[in-house]
Amino acid sequence: MNKSIWIISAAIAFIIAAFILSGAYTYKFKQAESISVTGVADTNFVSDLSVWSGTFSRSSFNMQEAFDALKKDEAIVMGYLEKQGLSKTEMKTSSINTEKLFSYTYDEQGNQKGSVFNGYKLSESVTIESSDLNKVDRISRDITQLIQQGVELSSSSPNYYYSKLSNLKIGLLAKASEDAYDRAKTIANNSGSSVGDLRKASMGVFQITGQNENEDYSYGGAFNTTSINKTATVTVKAEYSIK
């Protein structure tokens, strides 16, 4: 009698274990039934903000003389920019940077053996931020007029930005998400399945490149500031369950 009970109990335990293992396998199989896709969206846009900066400097053995000469240059620079039609709110100057200048002497082994003080160099930067891109571009090209007035000025080309970039990115993310879902549906339908719930999603790389320029995409995301006309691209990685 005891042996029969043991046999029956063992059989029941085996059936229960088989049922549990079967359920676990089915759950694991269902968990594996998913599809991962990458959606892409891009749009062209035009920059609406231009930023240009230039630096002017004066050198002298007397710091006060260098300072006075630099302030005269500042008045010339700001006066010139105002004559070009810029408002005071579109221009700003930096604090003055002071640097001691030295020349060095070396021995035959290349070791420094002495130094000579050559005076002070004071420099200051001016920055323009304006929505009038053509005006800033013209000023940056004609800035040599200041050099002709004796101002020791160096400058770079303007940089171009878009003030509504956050809104643009949100719109692109919506389009990229829609593209990811369409890709998932295409793959699922062609395999006789249908798309289920979204399991997870993440934003991929956000890129800004210049239009009609041979720019390479960057792993960390390109951010073009040299072109007025730009293209923004974003990717969205998504995983869906399959029914």
Domain 34-46+164-242 is classified in which CATH homologous superfamily? Protein of unknown function (DUF541), domain 1 (3.30.110.170)
pLDDT recorded at residue 19: 46
Which pLDDT tens digit goes with each residue over 65-84?
Answer: 999 999 999 999 999 999 99
b/e per residue, 194-219, with b = 16+ CB within 10 A? ebeeeeebeebebbbbbeeeebeeee
- High-pLDDT (> 90) share of the chain, %: 63
Dist CA 141 CA 81 (whole Å): 13
pTM for this model (two decimals): 0.75
pLDDT < 50 positions in the chain = 1-3, 6-7, 10-11, 13-31
Q: What SS3 class is residue 71? A: helix
Domain boundaries, the chain: 1-32, 34-46+164-242, 51-158
For tokens 């199989």, the residue is 29
With a CB cutoff of 8 Å and minimum separation 6, the contacts of 124 are 55, 56, 57, 70, 73, 74, 93, 94, 95, 96, 97
Write the pLDDT tens digit of every residue in 119-152.
999 999 999 999 999 999 999 988 888 988 889 8
pLDDT of the residue at 29: 38
The CATH number of 51-158 is: 3.30.70.2970
Q: How far apart, in whole angstroms, are the C-alpha atoms of residue 231 and residue 131?
A: 19
Mean pLDDT of the chain: 85
